[in-house]
Amino acid sequence: MLTDPPESTDITQRRLLQSIVEVARSVFGAAAASVFLVDRANGDLVFEAVAGEGENQLPGTRFPGGTGIAGWAVMGGQPLLVDDVAESPRFARAAAESTGYVPRSIMAAPLIADGECIGVLEVLDRDSRPRGDLGDMDSLGLLATEMATVLELLVRLRHDTGAARAVEVARFDLPLLQRVAERLPTASEQVGATVTKLLTMADELLAGGGA
Amino acid sequence: MPASVVPHERFEVSPLGPVVTREWAWGGADGSGIRVCVLDSGVDTSHPLVGGLEASMDVVTGDDGEAAVVPVEPGDEAGHGTACASVIRAIAPAASLTSVRVLSSGSHGTGAALLTGLRWAIDEGFDVINMSLSTTKPEFRDALRELSDAAYFRRCVIVASAHNMPVRSYPWPFASVISVASHDGPDPMAYYYNPSPPVEFYARGVRVRVAWTGGREMLTTGNSFATPHIAGICALILSKHRSLTPFQLKSVLYLTAENVAGSAATENGGARVD
């Protein structure tokens, strides 16, 4: 079966992001785990995948860059953890209005690919199992590193596949097909029938997987 | 002695010890007379945990395309710099603080702004520069290294956050800066020497109460918040021993670290240097 490579890598990327936020949520016993990607056009942070609280409504939602704990992770380029955020009424209200959920704690790590911060992996409200805060941040950092590395590979794959398709297309004389299509309506009946027959044969050949 | 190693001019050097204890290092000190520069997202001076600054600066790009450091109204939309400044203020309340905004929203340490801000801070002769940030862009590595070395030889101490993810970032791994990661103890004055660099010191970095935007406070964890603890302690030590070189200052930190001073055969937690 032939597939469209760019679309295929997009689907793979979505599945990858979703699986990693689900792993993150499970590892930390968290209320939610999410990944934001940085919109290069304006620096916004966009929810790309969410597991747990908000998973149905948050993907696609965007926030201005530099705001919130995810913004800190982008700006500082380092993992961090914030506790008792819900004690701040202003934060709680803003969070509730934008995500529908007010966390007590937020842990975030940057996704760094090719020296650029391309997004943030964030975990809300880890469970109370006895683990060290520093250990949790290290684990999140490792997950973020893994995620960024695979994203980097996907981007490269997409680029390589796109380039390969361009080379592939260039092997064929597409302008020839264009000229045939333009001239066919003005051809004589006999020539038109012959050309149509040839094109039909070509079509059947391609449909038969004769590539 | 070859001529190249003869000092070209006389200079003051504070003697160490003979017993370097924490009391000797910073006992009674409050950071008076020491100028600390916070390279970060800006600082909110209206926060009660921060207070007034010596100056608030920003890195802007002029019409000629050149980046320049200019005065701005104090402010910090993100709150990261405000958080770091509040830690330094808590440790060294009388130190003079200046903010240079090199992080802007949505950008990960743009590199060019970082270099411009750091160069300005070194030229301005700050005693301590706090960098709770790093850049992962390799194209800025060499310039950052040169600036870090220049700072070191001009008695300007750069205290930089170590990265705890397996990525290459700068300037914290450079030998000429003091790199800091986190320990999980509650004592803001407790720090440890790491004999396996590039991280050189561990300072309090877990559940640190810091200032945030809008007059708020919160508990934060991360190397970003361990770093200003060491920057503040450097300010305390320098305010008592004004002419320490960065080399000596690092040595004092080493000699007074919990895992060094505590193991030394001295009565009051110090190490002999004679």
- Domain map of chain A by residue range? 5-163, 173-207
Backbone angles phi, psi at B139, to 5 degrees: -70, -15
CATH for B137: 3.40.50.200
Non-local (6+) Cβ contacts of B122 within 8 A are B129, B147, B150, B151, B154, B156
Chain B residue whose CA is closest to A107:
B221
In angstroms, the separation between the Cα of residue A138 and the nearest Cα of chain B is: 7
**Distance between CA B109 and CA B144 in Å, rounded?**
13
- The domain in which residue B100 lies consists of 29-268
Decide if B106 is inside a domain: yes
Decide if B3 is inside a domain: no
- Band of residue B55 on the pLDDT scale cut at 50, 70, 90: very high
The pLDDT tens digits for B234-250 are 999 999 999 999 999 99
Give me the sign of the Cα torsion angle B240, B241, B242, B246. negative
The pLDDT tens digits for A39-81 are 888 888 888 899 998 888 888 888 887 777 888 888 888 899 9
In angstroms, the separation between the Cα of residue A107 and the nearest Cα of chain B is: 9
Between CA B249 and CA B252, with CA B251 as vertex, the angle to 5 degrees is: 65
Decide if B66 is inside a domain: yes
Indicate if the pLDDT at residue A4 is higher than 90.
no
Decide if B216 is inside a domain: yes
The domain total for chain B is: 1
Cβ contact A110:A79 at 8 Å? yes
Between CA B80 and CA B86, with CA B182 as vertex, the angle to 5 degrees is: 35
- The share of chain A scoring above pLDDT 90, in percent, equals 17
Chain B residue whose CA is closest to A73:
B108
Decide if B12 is inside a domain: no
B21 touches chain A (CB under 8 A): no
In angstroms, the separation between the Cα of residue B199 and the nearest Cα of chain A is: 15
A85 touches chain B (CB under 8 A): yes
Residues for chain A: how many in total?
A: 211
**Distance between CA B54 and CA A39 in Å, rounded?**
36
The pLDDT tens digits for A98-134 are 677 788 889 999 999 888 888 999 999 988 777 788 9
B121-160 burial, b at 16+ Cβ within 10 Å, e below that, comes to bbebebbbbbbbbbbbbeebbebbbebbeebbeebbbbbb
Q: What is the ipTM of this complex?
A: 0.81
Decide if B229 is inside a domain: yes
Mode of pairing for the β-strands spanning B208-211 and A106-113? unpaired
Evaluate the omega torsion of the peptide bond into residue A79 and state whether it is cis, within 30 degrees of 0: no
Give SS3 for A52.
strand
**Distance between CA A122 and CA A108 in Å, rounded?**
4
B265 touches chain A (CB under 8 A): no
Q: What homologous superfamily does CATH list for A5-163?
A: GAF domain (3.30.450.40)
Contacts of A132 in chain B (CB under 8 A): 184
Decide if B10 is inside a domain: no
